[in-house]
Amino acid sequence: MALSVIAILLSLSDQPVTPAPSLVAPVEQTASTGSGAIADRASGTVPQMADATPVVSVLPLVSVPFDTFPVFVAADGTSAPSDIIVTARAEWEAPDPLAGINATAFEATQTVDRALIGPLSMAYKKKVPGPIRDGIHNFLYNLREPVVFVNYVLQHKIGKAVETVGRFVVNTTIGAIGLFDIARRKPFRLPRRSNGFANTLGFYGVPNGAFLYLPLVGPTTVRDLFGGAVDRLILPITLGQGVTDPKFAIPAGVLGALDHRAEFDETYKAIDTAPGDRYGNARDFYLQRRQAEIDRLHGRGKAGAGGMTEAPSGTIRLRGRGSDPTVELPVTPSAIPAATPSATTTTPPAR
């Protein structure tokens, strides 16, 4: 049986091999071997080499113009552009995968702010005397000095950490538990600075993560939300469990919210009336301020600019995304001054 199979294979090897029909138009081919080159126009026959050994022809290569490739068509029937444009994301930008939900939360928050929070904060600013408001402001921010200190240590900024301890000691003692910012005045000249664990993460290169707009919390990112939670754990450790008691925490939270809203009233109005998408402007303003705060930890940016806890003055420069231009938003001072003489004895430093 095996001999019969071998005999059949040998008889087939003597038959000419007919190539498969070419699927493309015939083109001139040149084959080169060690004994020379044989040129043949593909005509459906098998090219024979000098020793008459049959050769199986291969599919000839053809040159296809680039414009004959298929063009993708958009849903509206128009051809998609052939240019591929790659734009780098700015360092301050954060992805916004929940833009629809965030925008809805933003509009709901704006509605509550116009109906309740805004009027209450303006009434607080109008009815409560300036020195009392300034004392509440100083007291609340003096409570955060231990958080600022811990994070300066984590960032290996020992000089600023020592200054923060000095501020806390001076204001807690001479400044009557922080009601007066004595540390800012002569002879101490210790500026107030803002800092937190979210800044520490950003300092070491942790990205923003997704942008979030949360009811009651406002604008934040995944990184900032986590960092804020860590800061809240530091407070009872350094100041005692009394700061978490609802009898203290609720009134302090309400006063802090009213104080912050009143101080940033002009800023909110400037962003609200700016051209373009209100939600997008509010989001980018927050992200750019946060990046500026982290940049200053690296010695970049404007050294005298305030942190997130200090309202901007003058003109807000809101940088655009990608190729969008920078938008300048003038901040109109309120008719009711928020500052007190104690806050203007020196140039306001970063908080």
pLDDT tens by residue, 20-38? 554 444 444 444 444 444 4
Mean pLDDT of all residues in the chain? Answer: 78
Cis before 119 (ω within 30): no
Q: What values do phi and psi take at 32, rounded to 5?
A: -120, 140
pLDDT of residue 11: 53
Q: Which pTM does this prediction carry?
A: 0.69
Confidence of residue 303 (pLDDT cuts 50, 70, 90): low
The beta-strand segments (E) located in 11-149 are: 28-33, 36-41
pLDDT tens by residue, 110-154? 999 999 999 999 999 999 999 999 999 999 999 999 999 999 999
Q: Which residue has the tokens 């600075």?
A: 193
Exposure string over 80-92, b if 16+ CB within 10 A, otherwise e: eeeeeeeeeeeeb
Tell which residue, 265, 328, 319, 315, has the closest CA to residue 295: 319
pLDDT tens by residue, 328-340? 888 876 554 444 3
